[in-house]
Amino acid sequence: MKSVKQMNMTEGSLGDKILRYTIPLIATGILQQLFNAADLAVVGQYSGKEAMAAVGSNAPIIGLLVNLFIGVALGSNVVIAKAIGQKDGDRVSDAVHTSIVISIIGGVLLALLSEFIAPMIIGLLGVPSEVYPLSLKYLRIYLMGLPVILLYNFESSIFRSCGNTRTPLIALVISGVLNVLLNLFFVTQLGMDVDGVAYATVIANVVSSLILFVSLIKTDLVVKVSPRKLRVHSYVLKTILLIGIPAGIQGSIFSLANIVIQSAVNSLGTIIMAASSAAFNLEIFAYFVINSFGQACTTFVGQNFGAGKPERCRRTLKLCLLQSFIINVVTCALILVFSNQLLGIFNPDPEVIANGRIRLEYIFFAYLFNFAQETLSGYLRGFGVSFIPALCSVVGICGIRLTWIFTVFKASPTFSTIMQVYPISLGTTAIVILIVILVLRPSRRMMKNA
């Protein structure tokens, strides 16, 4: 694999570097989602609505786990990025090797625990009886891959902390092609259904994590891994968890609230379940734009915070907000224009397409607030402030959505009623986090402490 130079985030222009950093990150997120989209499309076309609904009903659970992992891994990103800005090579090395070890150990423990509680998870979702066996089978197989999924996310975070977003993308291109080929082989040639696409996803994740591990060993970057140095450094672990756990909770709040929302969606029948699943696999592409700029803001602010450059931290925030807004609007508009054709890829049923478009319209309106919420949260995390944005999300997103489902939806149980809570909850949370930043003014405090 071609060597990639380390990006200097603490000097020179920012706008072009943020874009060079973010575009591969967006592509990586989209490719990750294509794993699940390929699962959904293959079972939808070859195994029927029940199999499609089974895979789709697991989306909130999978989203919760992946967002938790990405958030915890972000703790490594912040610690390593700050150490790079401070030019502290020993701390960089300690953080890198600690991250690899805790990802493997944590992944194994979570996989074992999740296998035991999988039936309870599916039960809480209120999955219809005709879909339940398929949903449980898919989830159990997917959970087997948690160790390599967690490892991949930590490895990606390590590369991104020094500005390298291309290597994780290359790894996913390779494993993504493999995933699609295995989907088709297991389902069309071996006659498997949801188990086939689940096994394909696990195998693809094994491949991507191994590619990144080998790349970290061979790289010339400051984040190079040496197998004999793999151990947990307690002083680094504490900082990673202090930042990563709240960030993981914040990311998971979306999915946790969506599990309750998915249960409400499931109560409306198989057509609505299939429509919601299809729309989710389109809207998530726009979300990756938003999320990627949030991660970029965290990394650039982290390095410049370590280098003692508050003005570059503030400029990073402004540029990330502007670029995220523009690209997000263009992405949402394109998906809406071609929504009928895109939804039809997953299922050609006119009712599925019509209800899928309803979801897209509400969600994309909500994204006008979500881009600000993600970027502002990323800005705070770059300074090591992780608990406050997580708390805001718990109250503003999870609290409002749970209250809405158990009150407003209960009084008016329609699909549109469910969707209305997205712009309300995201708009409220974005405003609260903005107020927090105006009160804390982390970059100005940084100048006073300099």
In a domain, 144, yes or no: yes
In a domain, 4, yes or no: no
Query: What is the average pLDDT score of the chain?
Result: 87
For 216-264, the pLDDT digits (tens) are 999 888 899 999 999 999 999 999 988 888 878 777 776 677 778 888 8
What residues contact residue 394 under an 8 Å CB cut-off, 6+ apart? 249, 250, 253
Asked if pLDDT for residue 186 goes beyond 80, the answer is: yes
DSSP string computed for 28-46: HHHHHHHHHHHHHHHHHHH
Say what the pLDDT of residue 180 is.
Answer: 87
In a domain, 306, yes or no: yes
In a domain, 328, yes or no: yes
Say what the pLDDT of residue 100 is.
Answer: 94
In the predicted model, what is the mean pLDDT of residues 293-312?
Answer: 92
CA angle 401, 405, 407 (to 5 degrees): 115
In the predicted model, what is the mean pLDDT of residues 18-44?
Answer: 81
SS3 state at 3: coil
DSSP state of 412: S
Contact call for residues 442 and 385 (beta carbons, < 8 A):
yes
Say what the pLDDT of residue 423 is.
Answer: 94
Return the residue matching tokens 């040496």.
226
Number of structural domains the chain divides into: 1
Selection from 47-61, 187-201, 350-364 with the highest mean pLDDT: 350-364
Q: How far apart are CA 300 and CA 311, in angstroms?
A: 12
In the predicted model, what is the mean pLDDT of residues 178-188?
Answer: 88
In the predicted model, what is the mean pLDDT of residues 28-56?
Answer: 74
Number of Cβ atoms within 10 Å of the Cβ of 49: 19
Nearest CA-CA partner of 83 in 92, 73, 74: 92
In a domain, 238, yes or no: yes
Q: How far apart are CA 294 and CA 301, in angstroms?
A: 11
Q: Tell me, what amino acid is at 75?
A: G
| Residue ranges making up the domain that contains 323 | 15-449
In a domain, 8, yes or no: no
E-strand stretches of 371-420: none
In a domain, 9, yes or no: no
In the predicted model, what is the mean pLDDT of residues 177-195?
Answer: 86
Q: Tell me, what amino acid is at 378?
A: G
In a domain, 176, yes or no: yes
Say what the pLDDT of residue 266 is.
Answer: 85
Report the percentage of the chain scoring pLDDT > 90: 43
For 21-33, the pLDDT digits (tens) are 999 988 887 877 7
Asked if pLDDT for residue 448 goes beyond 60, the answer is: no
Say what the pLDDT of residue 75 is.
Answer: 87
Of 64-78, 338-352, 390-404, the one with minimum mean pLDDT is 64-78
Q: How far apart are CA 391 and CA 368, in angstroms?
A: 21
Return the residue matching tokens 């989602």.
33
Name the helix (H) or strand (E) containing 127. none
Q: Which residue has the higher pLDDT, 200 or 43?
A: 200
DSSP string computed for 141-172: HHHTTHHHHHHHHHHHHHHHHTT--HHHHHHH
Say what the pLDDT of residue 355 is.
Answer: 92
In the predicted model, what is the mean pLDDT of residues 66-71?
Answer: 77
Query: pLDDT-derived band of residue 123, with 50, 70 and 90 as boundaries?
Result: confident
Q: How far apart are CA 361 and CA 415, in angstroms?
A: 12
Contact call for residues 147 and 63 (beta carbons, < 8 A):
no
Return the residue matching tokens 């726009």.
286
Query: pLDDT-derived band of residue 450, with 50, 70 and 90 as boundaries?
Result: very low
Return the residue matching tokens 């508009």.
333
Say what the pLDDT of residue 413 is.
Answer: 92
SS3 state at 347: coil
Q: How far apart are CA 382 and CA 385, in angstroms?
A: 7
Say what the pLDDT of residue 67 is.
Answer: 74
User: What distance lies between CA 152 and its chain's CA centroid?
Assistant: 13
Nearest CA-CA partner of 375 in 318, 294, 442: 294
Q: How far apart are CA 262 and CA 126, in angstroms?
A: 8
Q: What is the dihedral of CA 310, 314, 317, 319, to 10 degrees?
A: -120
Say what the pLDDT of residue 325 is.
Answer: 95
Of 13-17, 35-39, 200-204, 288-292, the one with minimum mean pLDDT is 35-39
What residues contact residue 370 under an 8 Å CB cut-off, 6+ apart? 287, 290, 426, 430
In the predicted model, what is the mean pLDDT of residues 186-200?
Answer: 85
- Which two tokens mark 169? 């993308």
Contact call for residues 262 and 419 (beta carbons, < 8 A):
no
DSSP string computed for 248-311: HHHHHHHHHHHHHHHHHHHTT-HHHHHHHHHHHHHHHHHHHHHHHHHHHHHHHHHHHHHTT-HH
